[in-house]
Amino acid sequence: MTHILQIDGLTKRFHDWERFSPRAKTVLDGISFEVAPGEIFGFLGPNGAGKTTTIKILMGIIRPTSGTARIMGHDIVEQSQQVKQRIGFLPENPYFYDYLSVGEFLTFCAALFGITGRAAAATTDRLLELVGMRHAARLPLRKCSKGMLQRTGIAQSLVNDPDFLVWDEPVSGLDPIGRKEIKDLMLELKRQGKTVFFSSHILPDAETLCDRVGIIVGGRMHRVGTLPELLKDSVSWVEVVAEGLPAGFAPAGAKTELIAGQSIIRLDDAAGLDGALKAIMQAGGAIVSVNPQRENLESYFARQVRSAGNL
Ligand SMILES: Nc1ncnc2c1ncn2[C@@H]1O[C@H](COP(=O)(O)OP(=O)(O)OP(=O)(O)O)[C@@H](O)[C@H]1O
Ligand SMILES: [Mg+2]
pLDDT at residue 20, as a whole number: 66
Of the residues 16, 28, 52, which should be mutated to test ligand 1's pocket, given the most ligand atoms within 8 Å of the CB?
A: 52
pLDDT at residue 21, as a whole number: 66
Residue 145 β-bridge partners: none
Give 12 Cα–ligand 2 centroid separation in angstroms: 15
Is the per-residue pLDDT at 199 higher than 50?
A: yes
What is d(CA 284, CA 282) in angstroms, rounded to the nearest whole number?
5
Using the atom order of ligand 1, give the atom closest to the CA of residue 55: 18
Using the atom order of ligand 1, give the atom closest to the CA of residue 49: 21
pLDDT at residue 256, as a whole number: 92
The CATH number given to 5-230 is 3.40.50.300
Do residues 267 and 291 touch, judged by C-beta distance below 8 A?
no
**Structure confidence by residue, pLDDT tens digits, 222-278:** 889 998 888 777 788 999 999 999 988 888 888 999 998 899 999 998 888 999 999
Q: How confident is the model over 39-52, as a mean pLDDT?
A: 93
Is the per-residue pLDDT at 310 higher than 80?
A: no
pLDDT at residue 75, as a whole number: 93
18 band by pLDDT with thresholds 50, 70 and 90 = low
Do residues 71 and 82 touch, judged by C-beta distance below 8 A?
no
Protein residue with least CA distance to atom 2, ligand 1: 14
Q: How confident is the model over 11-37, as a mean pLDDT?
A: 86
**Structure confidence by residue, pLDDT tens digits, 83-106:** 999 999 999 987 788 899 999 999
311 band by pLDDT with thresholds 50, 70 and 90 = very low
Q: Residue ranges per domain, the chain?
A: 5-230, 236-294
∠ Cα 59 211 44 (to 5°): 55
* Domain 236-294 listed as CATH 3.40.50: no
pLDDT at residue 227, as a whole number: 83
Number of helices (H), then strands (E), in the chain: 10, 14
Give 94 Cα–ligand 2 centroid separation in angstroms: 12
Rounded to the nearest integer, the mean pLDDT of the chain is 90
The per-residue DSSP string of the chain comes to ---SEEEEEEEEEEE-GGGT--PEEEEEEEEEEEE-TT-EEEEE--TTSSHHHHHHHHTTSS--SEEEEEETTEETTT--HHHHTTEEEE-SS----TTSBHHHHHHHHHHHTT--HHHHHHHHHHHHHHTT-GGGTTSBGGG--HHHHHHHHHHHHTTT--SEEEEESTTTT--HHHHHHHHHHHHHHHHTT-EEEEEES-HHHHHTT-SEEEEEETTEEEEEEEHHHHTTTS-EEEEEEEESPPTT---TTEEEEEETTEEEEEESSGGGHHHHHHHHHHTT-EEEEEEEEE--HHHHHHHHHHHHHT-
Ligand 1 pocket list (CB less than 6 A): 14, 25, 27, 45, 47-53, 92
Of the residues 16, 29, 44, 51, which should be mutated to test ligand 1's pocket, given the most ligand atoms within 8 Å of the CB?
A: 51
> Percent of the chain scored above 70 by pLDDT?
96
305 band by pLDDT with thresholds 50, 70 and 90 = confident
Q: How confident is the model over 39-48, as a mean pLDDT?
A: 93
Q: How confident is the model over 42-65, as a mean pLDDT?
A: 94
pLDDT at residue 304, as a whole number: 74
Q: How confident is the model over 182-190, as a mean pLDDT?
A: 94
